[in-house]
């Protein structure tokens, strides 16, 4: 029986750095890695050591700077790549290697120029080679979701028999959907004899906007590790957003019935750090950590929030390290929220007085997107200048 604790594998420093325009310094990689360790991830993919001398140094620096989190480097199915991973991570207190080769027909034919037999031979050779240096060997069949299911099983069984302890099912181009992905995992459980003795991971891209949903579907169907990035950054449309997946597991624990090591209260901190070092602002409407995630302008919503926050918030902002809930005032705001703001500023007003104040507010709100406290003061000044309110 598989565990119900889900491991978090963060690839912000590797796949995240493949985001157009992103290039982390070694210092920033180390700082992010330390924050990721504090946040609670289980594995940090620090880079691709064979890619460049700078990337090798970065992986080495991360490996030597963290205390207990597992550090890994990415390696193609090539001896030089595997050797580079070994050298870069040899001083890590806890380490693994991540070896990959594409398995889908389109990749085998056009990229690798390999037939199935050659592909399987490469998997066996290079996973076996990596096993000489690492107790923990992760193998990824790149483009797994576009690989023939029966051949994918062959590739996975070959990797496990060669020494792989983790199998990562990569939806490399974001092609699958939650139903298909769940069925694929059911198929793997039925056809991979050592499925329950092996850690199965998911690595989902967001090309069709389903990365998080696909990753969670994998968890529902037997995966016990999820790979992704902070803020969902990464190649093309990015990856699963680890912070969103972590919150989904927490809020809907009744459904997923799994746990993880993530300290949700540090979520905003790590997301802001990655945003700063990538020079990629967090969208206002981003789930969990966007500035609008805990803001409510609609009058109906504001009224509900004033009566009981759980009417429109399924988690508290404090639980993910955000500030307090905000009720911005605009043309959609109702009189209850406006009255609450006015009273919070020290004005003593009654519901009867609001009958006269609210039209003044609405008139101003029609001319300005957000009404701030200075505007409220002006509204109250206009109201008080009217001698009789009838």
pLDDT digits (tens, 9 = 90+) for 65-120: 999 999 999 999 999 999 999 999 999 999 999 999 999 999 999 999 999 999 99
pLDDT tens digits along 169-226: 999 999 999 999 999 999 999 999 999 999 999 999 999 999 999 999 999 999 999 9
Determine the pLDDT at residue 385.
84
Last-in-domain residue among 225, 252, 278: 278
pLDDT at 383 > cutoff 80:
yes
Q: Has residue 283 been placed in a domain?
A: no
User: Which CA distances in Å does 339 have to 251, 370, 374?
Assistant: 32, 16, 15
Q: Which of 221, 251, 278 is the last residue of a domain?
A: 278
Summarize pLDDT for 230-244 with one digit per residue, the tens.
Answer: 999 999 999 999 999
Does 117 share its domain with 145?
A: yes
**pTM for this one?**
0.93
Task: Assess whether 170 and 233 both reside in one domain.
Answer: yes
CA–CA distance, 353 with 294 (Å, rounded to integer): 29
Selection from 3, 77, 6, 75 nearest residue 41 by Cα: 6
CATH number of the domain at 244, please.
3.20.20.70
Mean pLDDT of the 151-157 span: 98
Residue 294 near residue 221, CB atoms below 8 Å: no
Q: How many domains does the chain have?
A: 2
Closest to 277 measured CA to CA, from 267, 289, 269:
269
- The CA distance from 67 to 95, in Å, is 11
Domain identity same for 212 and 300 = no
Residue 289 lies in a domain: no
Map residue 74 onto helix, strand or coil.
strand
Average pLDDT over residues 307-316: 96
Domain finish residue from 218, 253, 278: 278
Taking the C-alpha atoms of residue 168 and residue 140, their distance in angstroms, rounded to an integer, is 5
Dmax over Cα atoms in the chain, in whole Å?
91
- Let me know if 307 is exposed, middle or buried by CB neighbors in 10 A (0-12, 13-18, 19+): exposed
The answer to whether residue 285 is domain-embedded is no
Whether 127 and 202 map to the same domain: the answer is yes
Residues 72 and 219 in one domain: yes
329 lies in which domain range? 294-390
Region of residue 236 (left: phi > 0; alpha: psi -120 to 50; beta: else): left
Do 139 and 32 share a domain, yes or no? yes
Would you state the pLDDT for residue 389? 54
41-64: average pLDDT: 98
- So what's the pLDDT on residue 1? 43
Quick: pLDDT tens for 258-274: 999 999 999 999 999 99
Instruction: Check whether residue 273 and residue 308 sit in a common domain.
Output: no
**Rounded percentage of the chain residues whose pLDDT exceeds 70:** 98
Q: Is residue 286 part of a domain?
A: no
Residue 2 lies in a domain: no
Task: Give pLDDT tens digits for 340-363.
Answer: 999 999 999 999 999 999 999 999
pLDDT at position 298 is: 94
164 and 303, same domain (yes or no): no
Average pLDDT, the chain: 96
Residue 191's nearest CA partner among 145, 160, 236 is 160
């Amino acid at each position: 029986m598989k565990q119900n604790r889900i491991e978090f594998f963060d690839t912000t420093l590797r796949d995240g750095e493949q985001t157009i325009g992103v290039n982390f310094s070694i210092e920033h990689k180390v700082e992010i890695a330390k924050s990721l360790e504090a946040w609670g991830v289980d594995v940090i993919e620090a880079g691709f050591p064979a890619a460049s001398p700078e990337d090798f140094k970065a992986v080495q620096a991360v490996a030597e700077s963290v205390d207990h989190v597992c550090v890994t480097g990415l390696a193609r199915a090539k001896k030089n790549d595997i050797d580079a991973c070994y050298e870069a991570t040899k001083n890590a207190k806890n380490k693994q290697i991540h070896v990959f080769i594409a398995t889908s027909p389109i990749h085998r034919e056009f990229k690798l120029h390999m037939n199935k037999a050659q592909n399987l031979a490469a998997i066996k050779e290079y996973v076996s080679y990596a096993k000489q240096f690492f107790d923990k060997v992760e193998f990824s069949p790149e483009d797994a979701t576009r690989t023939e299911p029966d051949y994918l099983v062959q590739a996975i069984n070959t990797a496990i028999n060669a020494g792989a302890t983790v199998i990562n099912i990569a939806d490399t181009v974001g092609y699958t959907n939650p139903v298909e992905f769940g069925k694929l995992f059911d198929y793997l459980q039925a056809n991979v004899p050592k499925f329950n003795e092996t850690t199965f991971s998911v690595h989902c891209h967001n090309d069709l906007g389903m990365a998080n949903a696909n990753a969670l579907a994998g968890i529902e169907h037997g995966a016990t590790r999820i790979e992704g990035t902070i803020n969902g950054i990464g190649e093309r449309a990015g990856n699963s957003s680890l912070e969103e997946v972590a919150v989904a597991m927490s809020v809907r624990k009744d459904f997923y019935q799994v746990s993880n090591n993530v300290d949700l209260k540090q979520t905003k901190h790590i997301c802001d750090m990655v945003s700063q070092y990538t020079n990629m602002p967090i969208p206002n409407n981003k789930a969990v950590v966007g500035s609008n995630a805990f803001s409510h302008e609609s009058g109906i919503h504001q009224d509900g929030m004033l009566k009981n926050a759980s009417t429109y918030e399924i988690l508290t902002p404090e639980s993910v390290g955000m500030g307090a809930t905000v009720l911005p005032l605009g043309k959609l705001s109702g009189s209850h929220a406006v009255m609450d703001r006015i009273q919070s500023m020290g004005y003593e007003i009654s519901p009867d007085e609001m009958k006269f104040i609210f039209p003044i507010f609405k008139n101003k709100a029609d001319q300005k997107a957000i009404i701030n406290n200075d505007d409220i003061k002006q509204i109250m000044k206009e109201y008080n200048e009217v001698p009789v309110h009838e």
